[in-house]
Structure 1
Amino acid sequence: MARERVTVVDIARAAGVSKSTVSLVLQGSPLVNEVTRAKVNATIRELGYVYNRGAANLRQAKSKIIGIVVNDLTNSFFAELAVGVDSVVQSAGFVQFLANTGEKIERQREVVASMREHGVSGLIISPSRGTTAADLAPLVASGIPVVLVVRDIAGAGVSSLTSDNHAGAVAAVRHLVERGRRRIAFLGGFADTAVFEARMRGYRDALGEAGLDVPEELVIGSAPSRAGGVTAIEQAMMLKERPTAALCFNDAVAFGVCDGLRARRLEPGADFAVIGFDDVIEAKTAVPALTTVSVDPQGMGERAAELLLKQIGAGQADAQAIVSPVRLVVRQSCGAPIDHKVKEVSP
């Protein structure tokens, strides 16, 4: 009886690793640590696997596929961004493969490797926390067009599309000050990301401009999620001198802050002013409607896709760094009247 052909899946199962990790080893990728590489190679020899490089090269031929890799698909911002990407690439005859890394760099490496194996024509990536230029170096060397969104990576040598996070935070805090708030907190977000740094800098600059102190106790980091928002506002409410308003890292945190306030029988907008960041679809329909800095996630996806398709069409990946303007959308969560207003933000 003929022996069944050993597959990459068989090797992955026997070695206790992912299929993508096996593929990286077969390709000689430097992204795999030596211990894992040795284990996979030993399994390959044990099972008698033969790598068909010709077939692999056929798989790697360029396709009409765009890869989109995001760091947190539980945040509706990224779902809206993906919709924007899809609307553009679909009209250009491409399809998108969407993957979520959950802020794990190893998972990011695996999904990128898998997408390259399927011959993607380009990649749109919102990098996981801790991603460095070195992590993206193999992509740059391969010549695959890449556009980073939301988070930029210094020295990566690829195109990026980010929002004017500093200007947005300044506008939000100025608005709270104009409405008479003086003890304003900054809630949520991971401090080791460039987005947090830019929004925090805007928060501090606006308070300094108004002649207000920035007590460290009012800066409370947390996961950039609804649950993280609940945790952050609980800590803020335990302070001896409580804040009366907050700029939240993003809308997900802001929704959690509103949940936490209600748990304490405080009404967002009336008893405590809340401003988010992103302007996801839910912000407009929330009760109260959420005041937020609009970065237009769907529009960002569209612009990222257009930039990527331009690079694919040109056959080269000249790096461009684009910073999109933002708007402050004033709704009820900051105590504003029901008639919503939009404030243009100056850079």
Structure 2
Amino acid sequence: MPEPAAGGRARAGIADVAALAGVSQGTVSNVLNHPDRVAAKTRDKVRRAMDMLDYVPNGLARSLAAGSSQALGLVVSDLGNSVFVDIARGAEQTAESTGGTLLLANSDGRLEREASYLAVFAQSRVSGILITLNDAGHYAAISRIAPSGTPVVMLNHRADPGRFCSVSVDDELGGYLATRHLIETGRRRLVFVGGPDKLAPIQQRARGFRRAVAESGVSAIEVVPPWINRADGWRIGADLAGRVIDGDADGIVASTDLLAAGIVQSLAGRGDIQIPRDVAIIGYDNNQAAWDSPLPISTVMQPGHEMGSVGAAMVADEVEESGEHVHRCAVLSPKVLVRDSSMKIA
């Protein structure tokens, strides 16, 4: 008997299709998942029965029976950060171009959620899994539990090419470019606002900052907030206000746009500091916090859309090449976007 569906209407199941077509349930399953195994006349009979019953196949059941699906799984660290939305859009566009779909999960940077979503996607027989990571501890843990039968591509973290494909950004270059930009606009007393040591991209950006400072000979200090959000930036801005007023800081490189937005809000709200006249500020990521700020904030643009697209293409290559696949690491280059917060003062 057809099972109840939403709204009280009976929903046909595979047994109903088999009964109407006069075939076994296994034959119906083969029509859905392995049509080449079924004679054309029998396929037509089963499909007519499906049409008559308005039968809708269970996508998960079909992927389990067929061994895989056309869906691509993506686990992102923070959907509140528009960079990860860009990554999702890039992955989705590439998946759609090959007839696939994207399944999206948000981990909030929590390892237990990353592990849970990996298991869910593997059980759903997705074609492959993309996962964004930002520290070595999570990478090590995910490496131990990653499903062996499903392609897994690491995003935003350079992986061991002996185990996984990966797509990352040259964050050291990004930190260097941001710092060079401020130096080229005449800033000579710089501050780098970083973050926790465990965040590998932040530490790489700090290395780029130090390299540019060493090359130019300007003075510099580094500040390490407890985290990298807007509220952390606001507190750092309040702490740095005195240095800006005294002329001891005229340029700030923030390791994220959220930090930069908080710093801008804190300093601009005082009334006695003008940006960029007194201090130039540049962030990193090119997310909404930078381009939608009342004072548009200069930033280092992460190629998020490209990262997602390249990652999805890597999954497709691994599926197609199967046992002959060779893992590779793609490293993308960031670029500086200059906005009002760091314009050169004539």
Same fold (TM over 0.5): yes
Structure 1 residues without counterparts, runs of 5 or longer: 1-54, 339-347
Contact 1:152/1:194 (<8 A) preserved: no
Counterpart pick for 2:311 among 299, 304, 311: 304
CA distance in 1, matches of 2:294, 2:248: 23
Contact 1:59/1:119 (<8 A) preserved: no
**Paired position in structure 2 for 1:267:** 274
**Paired position in structure 1 for 2:227:** 223
Q: Write out aligned runs for 1:73-222 (5 A).
A: 73-127=79-133, 129=135, 130-139=137-146, 142-154=148-160, 157-215=163-221, 218-222=222-226
**Paired position in structure 2 for 1:236:** 240
Deviations 1:224-269 (A, max 9, x none): 2222322332333366875222111122222222112223223332
Q: Does 1:291 find its partner at 2:284?
A: no
| Partner secondary structure for residue 68 of structure 2 | coil
Deviations 1:21-79 (A, max 9, x none): xxxxxxxxxxxxxxxxxxxxxxxxxxxxxxxxxx8993793111111111122111111
| Partner secondary structure for residue 283 of structure 2 | strand
Contact 1:176/1:245 (<8 A) preserved: yes
Cα 1:320–1:251 change in 2 (3 A) is same
Counterpart pick for 2:283 among 272, 276, 284: 276
Deviates more, 1:252-261 or 1:192-201: 252-261
Deviations 1:69-116 (A, max 9, x none): 111221111112111111111221111111111121111111111111
CA distance in 2, matches of 1:276, 1:248: 5
Cα 1:103–1:156 change in 2 (3 A) is farther
| Partner secondary structure for residue 189 of structure 1 | coil
Q: Match for 1:289: what amino acid?
A: P
| Partner secondary structure for residue 167 of structure 2 | strand
Contact 2:190/2:218 (<8 A) preserved: no
Contact 1:188/1:249 (<8 A) preserved: yes
Shift of 1:208: 0.9
CA distance in 1, matches of 2:208, 2:248: 21
- Paired-residue identity, %: 28
Contact 1:269/1:334 (<8 A) preserved: yes
Moved over 6 A (4+): none
TM, length-normalised to structure 1: 0.73
Contact 2:167/2:311 (<8 A) preserved: yes
Structure 2 residues without counterparts, runs of 5 or longer: 1-60
Contact 1:165/1:198 (<8 A) preserved: yes
Cα 1:127–1:284 change in 2 (3 A) is closer
Cα 1:223–1:252 change in 2 (3 A) is same
Q: Match for 1:295: what amino acid?
A: Q
